[in-house]
Chain A
């Protein structure tokens, strides 16, 4: 069994990939991908810490259960918002969706 730090490194890598996507991508659907990756990095951390605590605690599993459900919900609403933005503006390039800019 590998040490806990390997899981932490993996989830930091996923967090980094997600932040890279959020900063540099212009397509709104790819931003949704990045958010899913970040949520999954957090989930890995929850499950790993729950497994490695002694005795193992069930709350980590429970929180991941809720987190997965909430992420699915967030993807639903996000896709609906992207669809509405596409209908209104004809693009989902977030650099062009700047009508609300002050």
Chain B
């Protein structure tokens, strides 16, 4: 019965991805993005990567989607303006053509080049110990650098959005 599960998950992923881009309210679009990402986590679980599925749910749905939601809701009416007002897209049809062309080209090329699609090896279970060992041993340097880059990104983000109260020209001639 995994075929039905795969079909259902793909339908959820694609439909909610379209909804995320097409919803009138940006808040609902964000929730649609979250549903789509949960669907991708389900696909990871179908592929035997339970740890990655949990990581995906924790990081994407728990952090990224909530961060976007908070940003939209907190700054929605900053100084009387609305952050999520938008006009109808003018390049909508061009976008659909370009996207369909790219998707068809990629899928068609892969399927034409590999007419015999490989079948997954059976009875395979990723051992979490192996994953941790390769993460720490083979890719240890990359892990440390990733931590440093994440720290730099967080500091950079905070610096960008910080409001300098002292720099306001209160005592100047303006």
Contacts and interface: CB of A to CB of B under 8 A. Distances in A.
Contacts of B29: 30, 33
Interface size class of A (residues with CB under 8 A): 35 or more
**Chain B interface mostly:** helix
B64 interface: yes
Contacts of B59: 68-69, 72
Interface size class of B (residues with CB under 8 A): 35 or more
A46 B65 CA distance: 22
Interface of A: 1-10, 12-27, 29-30, 32-34, 36-37, 40, 43-44, 47-48, 51-56, 58-59, 61-62, 64-66, 68-77, 79-84, 86-87, 90-93, 95
Given A2-B6, A37-B33, A53-B118, 6 more contacts: A8-B111, A23-B94, A65-B55, A68-B60, A90-B81, A91-B81
A36 B71 CA distance: 16
Candidate in A33, A55, A69, A71 with the most chain B CB atoms within 10 angstroms: A33
